[in-house]
Amino acid sequence: MKETSPLPPSPANACDAHLHLYDSALIAAPAHPNPLADCDARRYRTLREALGLRRAVVVTPAPHVDDNRVTLNAIQALGANDTRGIAVVFPDVTDADLQRLNAGGIRGVRYTIAIPKTAVTRIVTLPRLAPRLAALGWHAQLHMTPAQIVEHRDLLTALPCAIVFDHMARLADTDADHPAWDIVESLLRSGDTWVKLSGHYLARDAATARATAVRLAALAPERVLWGSDWPHPTEMPSPPDTRATVAALHDWLPDAALRQRALVDNPARLYGFA
Q: What does the pLDDT look like over 240-249, one tens digit per residue? A: 899 999 999 9
Distance CA 67, CA 173 (A): 30
Indicate whether 9 belongs to any domain. no
The pLDDT assigned to 206 comes to 94
Q: Are 52 and 14 in contact (CB under 8 A)?
A: yes
pLDDT digits (tens, 9 = 90+) for 166-222: 999 999 999 999 999 999 999 999 989 999 999 999 999 999 999 999 999 999 999
Q: Which pairing describes strands 106-112 and 83-87: parallel, antiparallel, or unpaired?
A: parallel
The pLDDT assigned to 115 comes to 82
At 78, is the pLDDT very low, low, confident or very high (cuts 50, 70, 90)?
very high
The pLDDT assigned to 23 comes to 82
Q: List all residues 6 or more positions away from 240 whose beta carbon is below 8 Å from its beta carbon.
A: 201, 232
pLDDT digits (tens, 9 = 90+) for 37-60: 789 999 999 999 999 999 999 999
Q: List all residues 6 or more positions away from 207 whose beta carbon is below 8 Å from its beta carbon.
A: none
Indicate whether 122 belongs to any domain. yes
Indicate whether 127 belongs to any domain. yes
Indicate whether 62 belongs to any domain. yes
Domain holding 263, by residue range, is: 15-271
Distance CA 232, CA 102 (A): 26
Q: Are 69 and 26 in contact (CB under 8 A)?
A: yes
Indicate whether 38 belongs to any domain. yes
E strands of 144-244, at which residues? Answer: 162-165, 193-197, 224-226
Distance CA 265, CA 274 (A): 10
Distance CA 192, CA 11 (A): 25
The pLDDT assigned to 2 comes to 43
At 29, is the pLDDT very low, low, confident or very high (cuts 50, 70, 90)?
very low
Indicate whether 101 belongs to any domain. yes
Q: What is the mean pLDDT of residues 88-110?
A: 97
Indicate whether 2 belongs to any domain. no
pLDDT at residue 238 is higher than 70: yes
Query: What's the whole-model pTM score?
Result: 0.93
pLDDT at residue 113 is higher than 50: yes
Indicate whether 4 belongs to any domain. no
Please, what is the average pLDDT of the chain?
92
Whole-number percent of the chain with pLDDT over 90: 81
Q: What is the mean pLDDT of residues 90-111?
A: 97
Q: List all residues 6 or more positions away from 49 whose beta carbon is below 8 Å from its beta carbon.
A: none
Q: How many domains does the chain have?
A: 1
Compute the radius of gyration of the chain from its Cα atoms.
17
What CATH number is attached to the domain comprising 64?
A: 3.20.20.140
| C-alpha distance from residue 153 to each of 28, 157, 172, 186, 188 (Å) | 33, 6, 19, 11, 13
The pLDDT assigned to 3 comes to 46
At 64, is the pLDDT very low, low, confident or very high (cuts 50, 70, 90)?
confident
